[in-house]
Amino acid sequence: MKIAFFSTKNYDIASFEAVNNGRHELEFFEEQLNSRNAILAEGFDAVCVFVNDKINSTAIAALEKLNIKAIAFRCAGYNNLNLEVARKSGMKVVRVPAYSPQAVAEHAVALILTLNRKIHKAYNRVRENNFSIENLTGINLYGKTIGVIGTGLIGKAFCEIMLGFGCRVLAHDIFEQEALKQKGINYLSLDDVLVQSDILSLHCPLLPETHHLINKESLTKMKQGAMLINTSRGGLLNTQDVIESLKARHLGYLGIDVYEQEAGIFFRDLSESIIEDDTISRLLTFPNVIITGHQGFFTKEALEQIAVTTLNSFTAIESGQALDERVVIA
Ligand code: NAI
């Protein structure tokens, strides 16, 4: 198949070319796929997209016009797709459901440990020969209550790590996993998890039902001084409400790998630019906030698995073989 890759970086090119073995013809565009750039897919059989491409109804119509047969998400989440319109189109839409749940779960833990033990501050201090430990006090994670929203692949991996730390782990999900219950995880209502947790980590997808799941009301229910971690999707938080809670000294810590308005900011070097987004700029002023730029998935193992699964899906689509039902979106 002749495949146009959108929003690509050097690491995408390296990981896909390493596993392709001449099976498909790959062309990599830096541009985002959106209704305006869809024309770049002219002459291709399929497109491959990432988290911030905009596959709305206009982009889907443009791709259909170009006779594109398949859209592959080289990621798990697909909230940037108009699912209803995609289902009505004749195109196959696939994703990578599980490339390395541990990669994202471990990143969530990295955010917790960094915020709690103030490693970001310690690193800077020591580099300037400042070996004072004043104000670097953390808490023991052992014995603390961790709330997990969404216990799918990533949430489950996260629960297991936190059990290893000796934490009490509470969870909320619309589907409860028996295997996790047997390991000692208690499933509770969302409110009960919010109220009881010292640290809350979000691992559910962004859906209309979960949009702004964390808002003024839910933040008020959380313990004063609690830590909020979001490695899932930015839209799970009402960022303005989170800022207000931080300013009111209610929310104690925030660690995010995703941001609702991340498209146009994340995955770019803006070090010489003036950031127009006042919300992320405000977040960056808090000493108790850490932001990483959507790197939760970014491990060697995950990149390889993403490339293998995506190219295998293209091979199956090309040869008319049945696809694993977990990869099929539409
Ligand atoms: P998954 O589909 O295995 O698990 C999601 C879980 O959320 C399921 O158990 C589901 O029942 C639950 N859920 C759905 N609606 C819910 C609701 N209203 N309340 C509570 N739970 C609900 O997905 P997986 O692989 O664990 O990924 C989770 C999310 O992580 C993805 O949707 C994606 O947004 C994000 N992600 C972030 C990455 C990063 O680099 N930061 C990389 C990969 C995924």
- Spell out the domain ranges in the chain: 2-99+299-319, 101-291
For residue 19, name the pLDDT band (cuts at 50, 70, 90): very high
For residue 112, name the pLDDT band (cuts at 50, 70, 90): very high
Q: Residue 93's pLDDT is what?
A: 98
Instruction: Return the CATH architecture of domain 2-99+299-319.
Output: 3-Layer(aba) Sandwich (3.40)
Give the Å distance between the CA of 154 and the centre of ligand 1: 7
Q: Residue 216's pLDDT is what?
A: 98
CATH class of 101-291: alpha beta
- 67 Cβ partners below 8 Å, 6+ apart? 45
What percent of the chain is predicted at pLDDT more than 90? 99
Closest atom, ligand 1, to C-alpha of 154 = 26
Would you say the CB of residue 104 lies under 6 angstroms from ligand 1? yes
Give the Å distance between the CA of 140 and the centre of ligand 1: 27
Q: Residue 78's pLDDT is what?
A: 95
For residue 172, name the pLDDT band (cuts at 50, 70, 90): very high
Closest atom, ligand 1, to C-alpha of 258 = 41
Would you say the CB of residue 234 lies under 6 angstroms from ligand 1? no
Q: Residue 259's pLDDT is what?
A: 98
H or E element in which residue 170 lies: strand 168-172
Question: Tens digit of pLDDT for each residue in 215-270?
Answer: 999 999 999 999 999 999 999 999 999 999 999 999 999 999 999 999 989 999 99
- Sequence-separated contacts (24+) of 178-184 with Cβ below 8 Å: 180/151, 180/156, 183/159
Catalytically annotated residues: 233, 262, 294
Q: Residue 122's pLDDT is what?
A: 98
What percent of the chain is predicted at pLDDT more than 70? 100
Give the Å distance between the CA of 119 and the centre of ligand 1: 28
The candidate with the shortest Cα–Cα distance to 254, out of 225, 294, 277, 220, is 225
Question: Tens digit of pLDDT for each residue in 264-298?
Answer: 899 999 999 999 999 999 999 999 999 999 999 99
Whether the domain at 2-99+299-319 and the domain at 101-291 fall into the same CATH topology: yes
